Amino acid sequence: MTLGEEPAAEHAHTTAWIASVLRGRIAAGRLTPGSKLSEQSLSAALGVSRNTLRQAFTTLAGESIVTRVPNRGVFVASPGAEEVREIYRVRRTIEPAAVLWGEATPEALNAMEAIVQRAQAAREAGSVADMAGANQEFHEAVVGLTGSSALRALMDRVLAEMRLVFYAMASAPDFHSHYVSRNAGLVQRLRAGQNELAATELREYLDAAEAELLEHLTGVAQ
């Protein structure tokens, strides 16, 4: 739990294990955007060969969690304004499509409503992290309506990049709380079978979120 790495738990795929460890550290904010991941130090710290670490790097680079600069090394991705725009291009495409054409079964809607309630509870408790987590879970559930694992994986990557955006921002504004009630409204629309209305509202939602994020991003940095 400290800083040491002692697991040494022989795993089938050491490379996948290492990749997941790094993914977790980045997601948890222990490795901030822009940090350099030195092969030498990391291989020593994790107790694996430089070679397997390298393999883990290629998988993480494939997930665009990490960027590779030739002969310079790998760095934790530090998304800027352009990356944010790209993120919302993706979200504005697949999320409304999911609510419009996805299979909103009663079970799926119940699960989404449960997530919304968890987000509301977290908001009232003042736990920003939990609220942000529940919010991301909600949007993942939205994409899950398509039933496609590939789209879900893409959304995972996009949300991971979103987390990096938040870590890269100096000041962390109250970004999620505005949107919790909108999520609740979205579920209601879907329950009523008003999919088209839900889709257009979600697109406006995403437009607003992107604008807010971009404003905060360009206002602080660059």
Partner DNA sequence: CTCGCCAACATTGTTGAACAATCCATACTT
Partner DNA sequence: AAGTATGGATTGTTCAACAATGTTGGCGAG
* Chain contacts with DNA (rule: CB under 7 A): 11-15, 36-40, 47-52, 54-55, 68, 70-74
Say which entry of DNA, its own copies, none residue 110 contacts (CB below 5 to 8 A, set by partner kind).
Answer: none
- Binder among 38, 41, 58, 181 for its own copies (CB under 8 A): 58
Interface stretch with its own copies, choices 31-39, 53-61, 110-118, 176-184 (CB under 8 A): 53-61
Say which entry of DNA, its own copies, none residue 14 contacts (CB below 5 to 8 A, set by partner kind).
Answer: DNA
Rounded to 10 degrees, the C-alpha dihedral 74/76/80/82 comes to 60
Cβ neighbours around 81 below 10 Å, total: 14
Is 76 strand, coil or helix? strand
Say which entry of DNA, its own copies, none residue 191 contacts (CB below 5 to 8 A, set by partner kind).
Answer: none
**Per-residue DSSP letters for 91-119?**
HHHHHHHHHHHS---HHHHHHHHHHHHHH
**Residue 69 beta carbon to DNA: minimum distance, rounded to whole angstroms:** 7
Of the candidates 157, 173, 187, the one whose C-alpha atom is nearest the C-alpha of residue 61 is 157
Beta bridge partners of 66: 76
**Residue 93 beta carbon to its own copies: minimum distance, rounded to whole angstroms:** 5
**DSSP annotation of 64:** T
Residue ranges binding its own copies (CB under 8 A): 12-13, 15, 51, 54-55, 58-59, 62-63, 70, 86, 89-90, 92-94, 96-98, 101-102, 146-151, 154, 157-158, 203
